[in-house]
Structure 1
Amino acid sequence: MTVVEDRPATAETPPPRRGNPLWALLRNSWRQLTSMRTALILLFLLAVAAVPGSIFPQRSVNRENVAEYFTANPELAPVLDRFFAFDVYASPWFAAIYLLLFTSLIGCVLPRLRDHIRALTTVPPDAPKRLERLPHHVGGERRPEDPAAAVAEIAKLLRRRRFRTRLRETPEGWTVSAEKGFLKETGNLLFHVAMLAVLVGVGFGQWYGWHGNRLLVEGTDQGFCNIVTQHDESVLGPRVDAGDLPDFCLRLTEFDATFQTTGVPKSFRATVDVSEDGGKRYRPETFTVNDPLRLDGANVYLLGQGYAPVLRYTDRFGAQQTKPVPFLPTDGMLTSEGVVQFPDVNIDPATGKRDPALQMGFEGVFLPTGGTDGSAVSQFPAENNPVLYLAAYRGDLGLDTGRPGSVYALDRDRIADGDLKKVSGERPYVLRPGEKWTLDDGTTLEFVGTRRFATISIRHDPTQGVMLAGAVLGLAGLMLSLSVHRRRVWFRVLPADPEAAGGSVVEAGGLPRTDYSGFGEEFAALTRHIKEGKS
């Protein structure tokens, strides 16, 4: 036994080098981050992190729903807001998971892509010396051809079955190495690249995309142009300015809806006049729920529909104002609630002054098909028996204060303070189309009729093509990864015993590179066909 003395370091024997601990920490952290296990964990965390976005209302989708949640949960909502529960997809923790997953996928894909390219350019290895040790083996098959002709025929048959083959001559005879199934790893890489494409699409779509919602009432006098101030709600990406929005205008000319006997919607169709030159020329277009209106720079989607009662108010001086006012549906039968406000009425023609205490507001319920029992619930979503239940309020509506408020509800604080007083009695007044209501001061309100309205969403996502390509690549890669199996086969062709009048002896072995239960049958069929000389 040799004994090695532990000598102190000298000039001839320098001390052993120690690795940099910081560099080792960074290297190990990178390896952990780019491992497949970490990528799967981050993908799972991203899915879990997106769950609050479907539970709590999001400011980027509907700010009014967020405000209602704060009103209903005054103690819980501020706590949740600190953790970005109402801005999940813009939160730092969601962005951190997103970026870590993006980095992990890049770290997974690049080395595997390098290895896959190397495998594609590397010839199949030579046959092992002892083929009988492989999981699948056939030996002693005799062929009448000499070894060179037999090995050429074997290689030809393998190439017809799309095997990559390599012939080698050895001192004993010939070998054929064949490999197949590289598309499995190609599918894996395609799937990972597709995930990267989707992540890139989502990120850049948030930066350079925008969307807005608008409730559009039927009629040429209710037009809409695509500017931020005319959107009911709008969200612009960080890289988008208000001036970047495409220039077009819409007018809802007709809205058709059909329903089943149970009241379930059957079809919606909106017909609009579209102008993309600043309102100079209009052209008719039609779109439905699953068939959006595609314009240059934006798509218009049909989200919902409802009714807008048309009301005409005549004040004490005989001046009239007519308004179509959307009432928002509250159930599947389109029982709808809404508010009609007339702030610019009862103006003295002698002085031209308006008394704020004489402003009028009406709130109530509209039923497309009213029942015979007098209940304020619609029986069917189509307009078979329209009924309007209204309550009248007179006073200061609070529209001149500059405070934001809902156009679908009266200010309850003003009603509580007495600034708005109810003047219609305890029970709501019932109106049908064409009927008129005379109030206590001689003013009248007439139910002229109804118009339809459509709720539309205008969206622009510059990465839709990237997302579509990512989805297609991901599906194709997943199918390749699940259906293709990598395997190798080898054939050794040796000269037959000279006493057997020439010929050759063929030995074969096979090895599945991945879990493939059907390889045994494939190997048996392959060797049988080669023995019989079939392609």
Structure 2
Amino acid sequence: MRTALFLLLLLAVAAIPGSTFPQRSIDAARTAQWITDHPTAGPVLDRLGFFEVYASPWFAAIYLLLFVSLIGCVLPRSRIHWHQLRARPPRAPRRLERLAAHREVETDETPEAVLERLRTTLRGRRYRVHAHDASTLSAEKGYLKESGNLVFHLALIGVLVGVAWGHLLGWKGDVILPVGQTFANTLSRYDTFSPGPWVDVSGLDPFTLRLDRMHVEFESDTTGRGQFGAPRDFDATTTFTDAAGQAREESIRVNHPLETGHGTVFLLGNGYAPHVTVRDADGTVIYSDATPFLPQDNFYTSVGAVKVPGADPDQLGFAGFFLPTGVIDDQRGPHSVFPDTLDPQLALTAFEGQLFPSGAPQSVYTLDTEAMTPVPGKDGADQLRILLRPGQTYDLPGARGSITFDGVERFAGLSIRSDPGKTLTLVSSLLALAGLVLNLVVRRRRVFVRVSAAEGTGRTVVSVGGLAKDDDEGMDDEVDAVLTADEGHR
């Protein structure tokens, strides 16, 4: 048991780097940037597995050792407990007055009547009673205490198995889905995807999900139910089509995910996706799409980037802010004063050059300007700054074409997860809780009774002693309660 506790503590300590350093399975771009920013420590920590803590050999070793230790602890104790359940209570000690709780009284009843009365009393108090001889009774109860202890440790093994099962065969993926678009459950459609080591990514359940409407409600009354601009409701109305081709309407809300049969779809976020169209100097459309912008505050001041790889001769990139209810001032710059689209504005700066110089993965919300230069403004300014409202078009200088802000669409941030071990983990956790409650509440107690004839009086001496396995302040009261039924016959 000491070994298991030590390994459990060691497992908790080993998990600290997983919450301290960026993990490659969660955010590969951030992990790569951390290693780049720390050229000395980064490669060393990477070789040691600090950026894939939960898949590292040393973490798996602690995990497996804890698993083996728990099994080695539980199996012998289960065998001992099984024999205890079938065994009789031990014989009464010769000197009951040496026990932790003891009381002795005299009664006018015969020894046989006293023993029968106390036998009935003890059984009524859920004791297992046995008479090893004609003058004593041995009683014991509280076997559920050890049973709860064993259930707790067996359940911990179940939790470990469930977590390992989910890690090996589970997967999770995130996707940004604008209103009106359809998501197909294939690897190429995910923005991020983290499969378990034993997952066949080509065998994902072939369902589709179309986002029909995204209803969001914000607090607009400054003296009403709460803070101005606070969110009140998020509801994504979708059309779900399963592998058999059966389509049905489903609503996904916070804490009300969609069960697909082979995965669970959670609504984790929402935001705005301005629909932008970029044309070249001849008026040919080279980019037209709803581009998600990432909210930065409670009023949905959002940052994002529009990347136009089809521009010629230099690729174009636009970075800036989307403001649902836009205000621009000298102190804060562009920002939103309300999260709903009361006065939507798109504030952008333009760059030209190479969008993907190194070929490394990039965030869809940021623009890598390492191999790009700012597009100069029409009035001779060093940086071209564009402010658009829905329906407005801005002609780019130098025959670079134009950019049009067509309108605003909402997007839903969906996280789709498959965890085959979650049922086992949940059941094991509930069993562990139940076992812990039994272990804390139930008392392991033994009560011994000895009767004898009092010298010269013809009365019967009744001696009752109690013994608890652990510290039990209620043992004296328990002995008194056993004798209470006999007090009227003294």
Report what 2:133 is aligned to.
169
Shift of 1:75: 3.2
2:481 maps to a residue whose letter is: A
The change in CA–CA distance for 1:295 and 1:368 in structure 2 (over 3 A counts) is: same
Shift of 1:403: 5.7
Matched residue type, 1:523: V
- The match for 2:173 is 212
CA 1:491/1:206 → structure 2, altered by over 3 Å: closer, same or farther? same
Q: Which amino acid aligns with 2:152?
A: F
| TM-fit CA distance, 1:223 | 1.0
Question: Mind listing any 5+ residue stretches in structure 1 that lack a counterpart?
Answer: 1-35, 346-355
Q: Hey, what does 1:457 align to over in structure 2?
A: 415
Residue equivalent to 1:298: 263
CA shift for structure 1 position 164: 0.7
Other-structure match for 1:389? 347
Shift of residue 156, structure 1, vs aligned partner:
1.1
How does 1:419-498 map onto structure 2 within 5 Å? Answer: 421-422=375-376, 425=381, 426-440=383-397, 441=399, 443-495=401-453
Larger radius of gyration: 1
Helix, strand or coil: the match of 2:252?
strand
TM-score of the pair, normalised by structure 1: 0.83
Is 1:53 matched up with 2:18?
yes
The one-character-per-residue Cα deviations of 1:229-249 (angstroms, maximum 9, x if unpaired) are: 111111221221113321111
The answer as to 2:231 corresponding to 1:265 is yes
* Closer, same or farther: CA 486–461 of 1 in aligned 2, 3 Å: same
2:165 maps to a residue whose letter is F
- What residue is the counterpart of 1:230 in the other structure? 189
Cross-structure match for 1:123: 88
The answer to whether the aligner puts 1:413 opposite 2:379 as a matched pair is: no
Pairing partner for 1:240 from 199, 208, 213: 199
1:299, CA displacement in angstroms?
A: 0.5
The 3-state SS of whatever aligns with 1:317 is coil
Normalized against structure 2, the TM-score is what? 0.90
**In 2, are the aligned partners of 1:391 and 1:422 still within 8 Å (CA)?**
no
User: What runs of 5+ residues in structure 2 fail to find an aligned partner?
Assistant: 220-226
- After superposition, the Cα gap between the structure-2 partners of 1:300 and 1:506, relative to the gap in structure 1 and judged at 3 Å, is same
1:485 Cα deviation (Å)?
Answer: 1.3
Distance 1:249 1:373, change over 3 A: same
Partner of 2:166, secondary structure, is: helix
2:327, 2:106 → 1: CA distance? 89
Quote the residue 1:20 is aligned against: none
Cα drift, residue 497 of structure 1? 5.6
Q: Which of 35, 53, 78 lines up with 1:113 in the alignment? A: 78
What pairs with 1:22-33 in structure 2 (closer than 5 Å)? none
Q: CA RMSD in A?
A: 2.3
Matched letter for residue 277 of structure 1: A
Inter-partner Cα distance in structure 1 for 2:124 and 2:252 = 52
Q: Give the AA of the match of 2:127.
A: F
Deviations 1:470-494 (A, max 9, x none): 1101111111111111111111123
Which residue in the other structure is 2:477 paired with? 521
CA distance change for structure 1 residues 209 and 421 in 2, over 3 Å: closer, same or farther? same
Measure the CA separation in 2 of the matches of 1:330 and 1:434.
Answer: 25
CA distance in 1, matches of 2:457, 2:322: 105
CA contact (8 A) 1:252 1:270 kept: yes
Q: Residues 398 and 88 from structure 1, CA distance in 2 versus in 1: closer, same or farther, beyond 3 angstroms?
A: closer
Residue 148 (1) aligns with residue 105 (2): no
Check if 1:362 corresponds to 2:321: no
CA distance in structure 2 between the partners assigned to 1:372 and 1:49 by the alignment: 48
On the 8 A contact 2:131/2:138 being kept in 1, the answer is yes
The residue number in structure 1 matching 2:148 is 187
Instruction: Answer yes or no: is the 8 Å Cα contact 2:328–2:334 preserved in 1.
Output: no
SS at match of 1:38: helix
1:379, distance to aligned residue in structure 2 (A): 2.5
Q: CA deviation at 1:311?
A: 1.2
Query: What secondary structure, in the 3-state scheme, does the structure 2 residue paired with 1:413 have?
Result: coil
C-alpha offsets along residues 478-517 of structure 1, whole Å, 9 cap, x if unaligned? 11111111111111123456863xx643221111111112
Question: How many positions carry a matched residue from both structures?
Answer: 475
**Shift of residue 49, structure 1, vs aligned partner:** 0.8
| Alpha-carbon distance in 2 for matches of 1:479, 1:291 | 30
* Deviation per residue, 1:404-453 (Å, 9 max, x gap): 4444333423215xxx7556652521111222212222733221111111
The amino acid of 1:200's aligned partner reads V
The question of whether the paired residues in 1 share the 8 Å contact of 2:148 and 2:439 is answered with yes
CA offset at residue 343 of structure 1?
3.2
Q: Decide whether the 8 Å contact of 1:393 with 1:423 is kept in 2.
A: no
- The structure where strand makes up a greater share of residues is 2
Indicate if the aligned counterparts of 1:181 and 1:485 stay in contact, CA closer than 8 A.
yes
What letter matches 2:128 in structure 1? R
Q: Distance in 1 between matches of 2:352 and 2:118?
A: 98
